Structure 1
Amino acid sequence: GQHPVGTGPLKLDSWDYGSSLVMTRFDDYWGEKATVDSITFRIVPEDASRVMMLKTGDADLVAGIPPVQIEELQSDPNVKVLVETGYRTIFLGMNSTVKPLDDVRVRQAVNYAIDRESIIKNVMRDVASYPDSFMVSNVIDNSAKGLGCYEFDQEKAKALLAEAGYADGFTLTLSTPEGRYAMDRQVAEVIQAMLMEVGITAEINVLDWGAYSEQATSGQHQFFLLGMGCPTGDPEFNLFMNFGTEGPQNYSRFSNAAVDQLLTEQSTILDAEERSKVMYQIQEELKNDACGAPLYYEQQTYGSGADVNGFIIYPDENASMAYLVRE
């Protein structure tokens, strides 16, 4: 809506949809009063433009610093780079109703074909971490810490493809947004090259987010690059939404009776330790059935003026700016 009502220390002053939004201090707030008089949010889609605004002082705070520019900004005495762990996993989805992705051996082969460490180091510039599972294991409880992903093994990938009857490979489309996630198109292009090494041709289809979402919802994607956050801080919501047979964001059309049964079972368990074991089983089953390929855990990147303090970043990708101060 255009007239949100909240209970926080700031209130909406004006909103130029798609361009800018102004928040001002709410003096009747019941708690600690905001330190800022007003904050103006500007929509700047281009990475280079946001970074330039930060460097020139036209912006006090910017979100989404590209990994390739973090080192440069860290050497600027007028800039402060903020990197925080978040709840988001970037993964390669696979539509399990599309041949040959309906064969678990093919999906496993795709997992083995991906060199995650290389992506993290060379594309994400280490502004990401290696995944244990689909859920960010270092900050989310019940996220199957230690489960681990498929190791990079091109020969095993080729052997599985041959076993499945695709020794000569196959061709599918790899859909990706551009600018939705840090380095998303570049990551898709690197995956394309890695899959080619084992004989799989992935034709990249770059889509704006609206078209991407429409294709995902209608089940048109084959391979697809996607990010998965965790708004509740618990895996149940995400695992059902993305991998439950009836999950509304199950764009891979994945269906596993054991996963569905365990998702139902864990929702009735009151003992935390027992429930944790079931959650681990769910994620182990997802790994074995290769419902997709977790690539890395994305980190949140912000930049601010060196004199700006009081910015708080939360792992669910929310942030607090009501208590910013210039020192």
Structure 2
Amino acid sequence: MEINTAERLVKKGRMSRRDFIQIAIAAGLSAGAANLTFTSYARAEPKKGGRLRVGLAHGSSTDSLDPATYLDYYMGTVGWGALGNGLTSFDETGNVKPDLAESLEPSNKAARWAFKLRKGTEFHNGKSVAAEDIVASIRHHMGDGSKSPVKALLAQISELKADGDTVVFTLAAGNADFPYLLSDYHLPIMPMGENGQADWASGIRTGAYVLNKFVPGVNASMTRNPNYHGTAWFDEVEVLSILDPVARQNALATGEIDYMDRVDVKTLRFLERNEELEIDQVSGYGHYTFPMNVTAAPFNNSDVRKALKYAVDRQEIINKILGGVGDAGNDNPIARNIKYAIDPMPAHTYDPEKAKSLLAKAGFSNLKLELSASDAAFTGAVDAALLFKNSAEKAGIEINVIR
């Protein structure tokens, strides 16, 4: 390894003092100089500036700046992560914290919530954030014609009003988790227009970056908000939609982008050989499932559902589809690293004989099913469905995989 590469790894916290000193000595530095060099790099503070180019596995030509239409991680990143803020957000431990709110106060057994706004917060156009803007932004999702994904979450609000620099929510019943709901990425705060409605079309928000250009399904380019109430490290950010995993990987390898998500684990080793790249592996919130419609036969029979849970070899899918990068779940869409995960450890392991027994209990000597699968859901979804088909055959279950 070259000394320049070692220096970059130290700055990123990816190399120990001992390893760096060994490489530095081999490159001609004295032990004392190597030790001092390590210390200076390890203590180096991040510097503001530069341009960040992000390639994401989502994005569509139908994307809109209207937060009521956000469907995936792309608009969540652009509309919430870069452009906007909500009343609340999360800290690094998963606990809710005020964001545009300075404080939040429950009363009446958590059926009333008062959010006092942070002082001095401005929209990108210089307008101060007022309680009326919060009210308009929340009501944007609550109208009779709204198709917002968070409309149902907000239905519990029986009254919403501005009171000076405070926003007061009155709920139909007490809800201690209400501040968590307001951290949803569909709920960035927007300025209220002259018509009393939230102005979503301008892209004006309160976030770290100001929108320059937005081409749905292509890219969004932004520059740093000099008046942001938090920290914004980059001068410019561009978020690109690159749906194809190979194209996304090539863009990273050739320096066209600086960051990508959803690495194809089949080619992960190729990226690991590139010393110019850094790969972070962390526990995510994503989950891959084969959902069953429990209102339709035969899935309305709990024994059939249990049989299918025992008929899938989860570990085989993890090993062959995810390259061993992943964990078996417990048949629910809540990742185990989420703060309030319910029964995160797997309760079902591959057991075709037990699956047969459960099918017999449900009145089936064998079972024929159809499973629709597409790699648009997740990379390798079709192959995962075929593995499920093969493992289920040993339990007397015939699965027709529809691509």
Question: Which of the numbers 114, 132, 136 marks the counterpart of 2:335?
Answer: 136
The letter for the 1-side match of 2:302 is V
Aligned-residue RMSD, C-alpha: 1.9
The one of 87, 91, 114 aligned to 2:312: 114
Structure 1 vs Structure 2: percent identity of aligned residues?
A: 25
Match of 2:225 among 26, 34, 37: 26
Residue 91 of structure 1 pairs with residue 289 of structure 2:
yes
Which of the residues 204, 214, 219 maps onto 1:5? 204
Gaps of 5+ in 1: 207-327
**Residue equivalent to 2:246:** 48
Find the aligned partners of 2:314 and 2:367 in 1 and give their Cα distance: 22
Distance 2:387 2:287 in 1: 17
| Partner SS, residue 121 of structure 1 | helix
Q: Which has the higher strand share?
A: 1
Question: Where does 1:36-185 land on structure 2 (aligned, <5 Å)?
Answer: 36-132=234-330, 134=332, 135-146=334-345, 148-167=346-365, 169-185=366-382
Aligned to 1:97, the other structure's residue is in SS state coil
Residue 9 of structure 2: aligned partner: none
Query: Distance between the aligned counterparts of 1:140 and 1:90, measured in 2?
Result: 19
Which letter does structure 1 place at the counterpart of 2:208? P
Q: Distance in 2 between matches of 1:44 and 1:100?
A: 39
Once the 2 structures are TM-superposed, how far is the Cα of residue 92 of structure 1 from its aligned partner?
Answer: 2.1
Q: Deviations over 1:181-230 (max 9, x none)?
A: 23222222221222223222222233xxxxxxxxxxxxxxxxxxxxxxxx
Cα displacement (A) at 1:142: 4.7
Task: Say whether 1:35 aligns with 2:212.
Answer: no
Alignment size in residue pairs:
203
> CA separation in 2, counterparts of 1:78 and 1:92?
37
Contact 2:355–2:395 (Cα < 8 Å) also in 1: yes
Residue 56 of structure 1, CA deviation: 1.3
Aligned partners of 1:25 and 1:171: how far apart in 2? 56
Which of structure 1's runs of 4+ aligned residues deviate more than 4 A?
none
- Confirm or deny: 8 A CA contact 1:10 1:26 kept in the other structure: yes
1:100–1:106 contact (8 Å) kept in structure 2: yes
Q: Give the 3-state SS of the residue equivalent to 1:202 in structure 2.
A: strand
Asked if structure 2 preserves the Cα contact closer than 8 Å seen for 1:133 and 1:145, the reply is: no
> 2:393 maps to what in 1?
196
Note closer, same or farther for the CA distance 1:94–1:47 as it changes in structure 2 (3 Å cut): same
| Counterparts of 2:325 and 2:358, CA distance in 1 | 32
TM-score by length of 1: 0.58
Deviations 1:123-180 (A, max 9, x none): 111221122452222342352244x32121011111222232221x232221233233
User: What is the rounded CA distance, in whole Å, between the counterparts of 2:235 and 2:344 in structure 1?
Assistant: 43
For residues 336 and 325 of structure 2, the distance between their equivalents in structure 1, rounded to whole angstroms, comes to 16
CA distance in 2, matches of 1:130, 1:16: 38
Question: 1:65 corresponds to which letter in structure 2?
Answer: V
Greater CA radius of gyration, 1 or 2?
A: 2
Deviates more, 1:2-11 or 1:67-76: 2-11
DSSP 3-state at the match of 2:278: strand
Q: Which residue of 1 aligns with 2:189?
A: none
Residues 210, 222 of structure 2: 8 Å contact kept: yes
One-letter code of the match for 2:389? Q
Aligned equivalents of 1:130 and 1:170: distance in 2? Answer: 25
Q: Which letter maps to 1:55?
A: A
Q: In 2, distance between residues paired with 1:194 and 1:175?
A: 17
SS in 1 for 2:307: helix
If the length of structure 2 is used for normalisation, what is the TM-score?
0.47
